Structure 1
Amino acid sequence: MNNTKKRITSLDILLLAVIIGVLSTLSYYIVTQLNYHWNWSVIPNYIFRYDHTTDTWKAGQLTQGLLVTLRLSVWSIIFALIIGTVMGIFRISQRPFFRMISSSYVGLIRNIPPLVLIFIFYYFLGDQLMNATGITDLSYSLDDKSFPVLTFLLGPVEQIPAFISGVLTMSLFEGAYITEIVRSGIESIPVEQWEASKAQGLNRRKQLIYIILPQAFAQSLPTLAGQFISTIKDSSIVSIISIQELTFAGQELMSATYRTFEIWSVVIILYFFLTFPCSIAVRILEKKMNRHKHD
């Protein structure tokens, strides 16, 4: 095991100084030389605002959009992981029929732009599906105050059909990439693991559940984390179907206030607050797993 500690060298310090210098120069140019009058005073009300009618603080439009993005990302990641795991197992199945289903799914989804996929699913499939299942009529008959749990999980009830369409579209799109991640993770497991578990009397299903998949997910964790972060960022695409997530809120506020740079600067920061903790959590988890591996 390599216990060599990483040390900061003079080259690291020099590179850091260069980066800080470039960022400082760029910031100075933007603030002083750009022909733009900055006005940050309008931003706080879009983060949190004080409601005088109820004498309480409420989430501003950008914060509400952030919560919608968070809901959309969490549900999309959950369903994409389920779809990707199932299709990843199909990809290495001994049955040609399952391999054909998975290959067709991956080949079709990965070669369609996500924007086109959203249009197809929302305007053609999603609209018909929502009406056929009665979700659209049900959303019109519900009330946010009567179903607070549903509102917390899915957002405003009148937006549930669009929200579900967005989640399904994102899940299908991201699931195709997770399929390949899971497949490569399973194929990276040595053949001896299959043989040893088979010798213990485990059938193929139990081999996958108890032996192969845990190791495959552990080895694929950095790649999966990158895909999860990509899902959060890709969620901005659903703003085109009027889901009021963070990018949609930013577009509306930009049109209303004409504070282009201020609004989008805050949107960038809010996306960073969503994605950066995911990166930190994965690093911590990787270190723990590597420590257990070496112990």
Structure 2
Amino acid sequence: MAKLFKKLHWADALIIVALTVFVATIWLRIDGTLNYKWNWSIIPRYIIRWDEHEGVWVANILLQGLISTIRVSIYAGILAVIIGVLLGIARCAQNLTLRLLARTYVECLRNIPPIVVIFIFYFFLSEQVVSAFGIEKWARGIARSENPEVWSFFFGDMRHFPSLISGVVVLAMFESAFVGEIVRSGIQSVGIGQREAARALGLGWVDEMRFVVLPQAIKRVLPPLANQFITLVKDSSIISLIAIQELTYKTSELVVSTRAIFEAWLTTAAFYFIICFSLSMLFRKFEKKRSAT
């Protein structure tokens, strides 16, 4: 701790003081002007509760939302990387039509507000996919089965599985545009000499990308992809607008039922901060290890 204080510059101390004053001012306005009655004691039982029937501690509304947010982020992140890699490769393809289609997709999604994108994909694509493949009927059958525990572990309440799929699809489609641009920049950062050497060895475009360009590009795009995943976790709150049962949606339900507005939202903000900050530290550690090797 002493070493930390020694590293602080006078500007850092000034910023800390300013933030402290700002937080204190907000706190006093809430406590005084708004005459708000704080009730932090109710928050723990909405995170975890004792199930008297089963005799165990179980996740309550906030923890359920947090777990759902983690699920959506992981699945949407995987799908966004798959689509984004394909988009990045297509943006660098020799075929003009393929390049134009990929660029149109990327530019449209990057220049339209995310809320609009979410609604468009949800009502015009995701709902159609769920209906076309009979996902809702299948999920309800799983929910009524005798042993749905494995499915529940990976996907939560199977009655909400269609909503989960919809959230994953719309979030992945939106984030894939940014992943595609990251992959494209990584591919184009590989020196022209590397490509010329590959062509000199008689490699075609596909083999050139597979054996020469992509292995080098992947190493360069890992840090920005890690940052994009953190952004995806925060962006997952948007899908609460289409009734996906993630953390923000559950917090809204809690606020309506308890009127603990500030306690609920501050707790939710703390959950998001813990996830994103932990991921940031984890990715930074991996990056240091990779640069050291």
- TM-score normalised over the length of structure 2: 0.90
SS of corresponding position for 2:190: coil
Aligned twin of 2:263? 262
What does 1:11-30 correspond to in 2, within 5 Å? 12-30=8-26
- 1:216 partner amino acid: A
Aligned twin of 1:139? 139
How far 1:177 moved relative to its partner?
Answer: 0.8
Aligned twin of 1:196? 197
Structure 1 window deviating more from structure 2 (71-80 vs 148-157): it is 148-157
CA contact (8 A) 2:72 2:167 kept: yes
**C-alpha distance 275-11 of structure 1, shift in aligned 2 (>3 A):** closer
How far 1:146 moved relative to its partner?
Answer: 2.3
How far 1:287 moved relative to its partner?
Answer: 1.3
How far 1:182 moved relative to its partner?
Answer: 0.5
Aligned twin of 1:62? 62
Note the alpha carbon deviations across 1:237-264, whole angstroms, 9 max, x for none. Answer: 1111111100001111111111111111
How far 1:29 moved relative to its partner?
Answer: 3.3
Tell me how far apart the structure 2 counterparts of residues 182 and 83 of structure 1 sit (CA, whole Å). Answer: 11
Q: Percent identity?
A: 41
**C-alpha distance 281-198 of structure 1, shift in aligned 2 (>3 A):** farther
How far 1:114 moved relative to its partner?
Answer: 2.0
What does 1:1-295 correspond to in 2, within 5 Å? 12-34=8-30, 35=32, 36-143=36-143, 146-292=147-293
Structure 1 window deviating more from structure 2 (13-22 vs 69-78): it is 13-22
SS of corresponding position for 1:28: helix
**C-alpha distance 250-287 of structure 1, shift in aligned 2 (>3 A):** same
How far 1:220 moved relative to its partner?
Answer: 2.1
Tell me how far apart the structure 2 counterparts of residues 9 and 219 of structure 1 sit (CA, whole Å). Answer: 34
CA contact (8 A) 2:118 2:174 kept: no
Tell me how far apart the structure 1 counterparts of residues 43 and 106 of structure 2 sit (CA, whole Å). Answer: 42
Note the alpha carbon deviations across 1:62-98, whole angstroms, 9 max, x for none. Answer: 1100000000000111010010101100111111121
Structure 1 window deviating more from structure 2 (132-141 vs 31-40): it is 31-40
Return 5+ residue gaps in structure 2 as ranges: none
SS of corresponding position for 1:43: helix
SS of corresponding position for 2:49: strand
How far 1:45 moved relative to its partner?
Answer: 0.5
How far 1:176 moved relative to its partner?
Answer: 0.6
How far 1:24 moved relative to its partner?
Answer: 2.9
What is the aligned residue count? Answer: 286
Structure 1 window deviating more from structure 2 (245-254 vs 213-222): it is 213-222
How far 1:196 moved relative to its partner?
Answer: 2.6
SS of corresponding position for 1:146: coil
How far 1:103 moved relative to its partner?
Answer: 1.2
**C-alpha distance 142-9 of structure 1, shift in aligned 2 (>3 A):** closer
Note the alpha carbon deviations across 1:162-183, whole angstroms, 9 max, x for none. Answer: 1111111111110011111110
- 1:283 partner amino acid: R
Structure 1 window deviating more from structure 2 (220-229 vs 25-34): it is 25-34
Tell me how far apart the structure 2 counterparts of residues 43 and 136 of structure 1 sit (CA, whole Å). Answer: 33
CA contact (8 A) 1:122 1:162 kept: no
Tell me how far apart the structure 2 counterparts of residues 43 and 8 of structure 1 sit (CA, whole Å). Answer: 33
How far 1:32 moved relative to its partner?
Answer: 4.2
RMSD: 2.1
SS of corresponding position for 1:265: helix
How far 1:100 moved relative to its partner?
Answer: 1.8
Structure 1 window deviating more from structure 2 (187-196 vs 55-64): it is 187-196
- 2:207 partner amino acid: K
Tell me how far apart the structure 2 counterparts of residues 261 and 136 of structure 1 sit (CA, whole Å). Answer: 36
Note the alpha carbon deviations across 1:189-220, whole angstroms, 9 max, x for none. Answer: 11111123334454332332332222212222
SS of corresponding position for 1:197: helix
SS of corresponding position for 2:93: coil
- TM-score normalised over the length of structure 1: 0.90
